[in-house]
Amino acid sequence: MKHVVFAHRKLSFGGGERVLIEQVAALAGLPVRVSVLFNKDPDMRDIEPELRARNPHVETVLHLPGAWGAWRWLRANRPDLLVLCNHKGVQRALPWLGWRLPTVVTLHEHYERHLRKYQGIRRLVDRWIITWAFQDAVRANLGEQPCSLIHPLYSRAGAQPPSPEAKREARRLLGLPEDAFVLGYVGQMDRRKSAEGALHLAEALEQAWGRPVHVLFAGREDHHARTALDAAIARSPLKDRVVRTGPLDQIAPGFIALDLYVMTSRNEGFFPIALLEALERGVPIVVPTVGGITTQLQDGQGGFLMVKPDDRRPPDPALLEATARRLVPLLNDPEAWRAQQAAAVTLASGLATDYDAASLFREALGTWL
């Protein structure tokens, strides 16, 4: 059996980790042995059970952070193919191997600073997998190797818009009022996500709308996110109407409880999977114009774009306040808001239907399998 090793940054929940799961699962029907190496947070193995459940050929899941350890492991195991995504130890080890290990790199972001990470190994890479159409940036920064465009839209059982009772139950579970207007963010929170921006938008919306707004933050918070949220909530007039759940065993109630999903990231990749999770449940989204989001979302069609001029800073307060004011007429018109909810479901269905990313991934790797 051929041996494929996936080298990834971490195994905690996240959009990039969801792509890793689906890539590993795409090989389940093939006679291919699989190993997974990761280099961050050794005690956070959130997705390991799903990796093993989705592909019975997963043999090894190993925390291996450094270049020396990666070199020794690769030399000892001599895999037939490496699928790499931001594992710095493996990147540094590649030039030392002494033999040509076929290598495919998954790129989630088009930003020059992200692509520069791979310049040291660009001549050792056989194929780039890009998650949306930024091949021109790859050519400019990394070279002429083939690019396979594979959107991270994997076949899965789509969630249905919740019934009123399901929404009430989700809110009871999370400690939110059943009849409130709730906006929020569900997903991992780190410095890049700038989740405190959702609170600023909620404050601006309450002031412009004249109705109470409740806020939900559901998901794991790293140190930077926790510190920023602590400070923002402490000074917020909405502080008594903010719910923070931390990690949830089941993430679905977080999305079901929302009326509006707000993402205020500095930068993103293709189209964050959390956006799909919200849209398919009929929750309109507010998102910045970063990554590949604008390639899939038309403004005012189930979601609202905040036009942001760079990928270094989160949406500024003026932009959040203008977005809040823009939402008020829609929220005051129940029919218009129901139309946005319906458009959200339609968008999610259109994105996720009849797109076989797993087949495209197997095709990209076919030369070596």
CATH 3.40.50.2000, domain 164-352, yes or no: yes
Residue 155 pLDDT exceeds 80: no
Helix, strand or coil for residue 319? Answer: helix
* Cα–Cα dist 223/345, whole Å: 34
Percent of the chain with pLDDT over 70: 99
Inter-residue contact 271 to 246 (CB < 8 Å):
no
Mean of pLDDT values over 227-242? 98
pLDDT-derived band of residue 353, with 50, 70 and 90 as boundaries? confident
**Per-residue tokens: 363:** 């095709």
pLDDT of residue 302: 97
* Cα–Cα dist 12/336, whole Å: 38
Residue 262 pLDDT exceeds 70: yes
* Cα–Cα dist 243/233, whole Å: 10
* Cα–Cα dist 87/36, whole Å: 11
Inter-residue contact 66 to 88 (CB < 8 Å):
no
pLDDT-derived band of residue 159, with 50, 70 and 90 as boundaries? confident
Buried b (16+ CB within 10 A) or exposed e, 19-46: bbbbbbbbbeebebbbbbbbbeeeeebb
Alpha helices in 210-316 (DSSP H): 223-234, 252-256, 273-279
Beta pairing class for 260-262 and 181-186? parallel
pLDDT-derived band of residue 13, with 50, 70 and 90 as boundaries? confident
The chain-wide mean pLDDT, for the chain, equals 95
Inter-residue contact 216 to 243 (CB < 8 Å):
yes
Q: Which residues pair with 147 in a beta bridge?
A: 128
Mean of pLDDT values over 76-98? 97
Residue 285 pLDDT exceeds 80: yes
Does this chain's domain 2-154+354-368 share its CATH topology with 164-352? Answer: yes
CATH code, 2-154+354-368: 3.40.50.2000
Single-letter amino acid code for the residue at 19: V
Least confident range from 39-53, 141-155, 221-235: namely 141-155
Residue 238 pLDDT exceeds 70: yes
In degrees, to the nearest 5, what angle opens at C-alpha 34 toward C-alphas 28 and 35? 145
pLDDT of residue 156: 67
Q: Quick one: angle between helices 357-365 and 15-26, nearest 10?
A: 70
Segments making up each domain of the chain, as ranges: 2-154+354-368, 164-352
Residue 129 pLDDT exceeds 80: yes
Inter-residue contact 277 to 255 (CB < 8 Å):
yes
Q: Is the pTM of this model over 0.85?
A: yes
For the segment 161-198, what is each residue's pLDDT rounded down to a tens digit? 999 999 999 999 999 999 999 999 999 999 999 999 99
Inter-residue contact 350 to 297 (CB < 8 Å):
no
Q: Which residues pair with 243 in a beta bridge?
A: 216
Q: Which residues pair with 4 in a beta bridge?
A: 34, 81
Whole-angstrom CA distances from 252 to 105, 247, 278 are 31, 12, 9
Q: Where are the beta strands (DSSP E) in the chain?
A: 2-8, 32-38, 58-63, 81-85, 103-107, 127-130, 147-149, 181-186, 213-218, 242-246, 260-262, 285-288, 303-306
pLDDT-derived band of residue 118, with 50, 70 and 90 as boundaries? very high
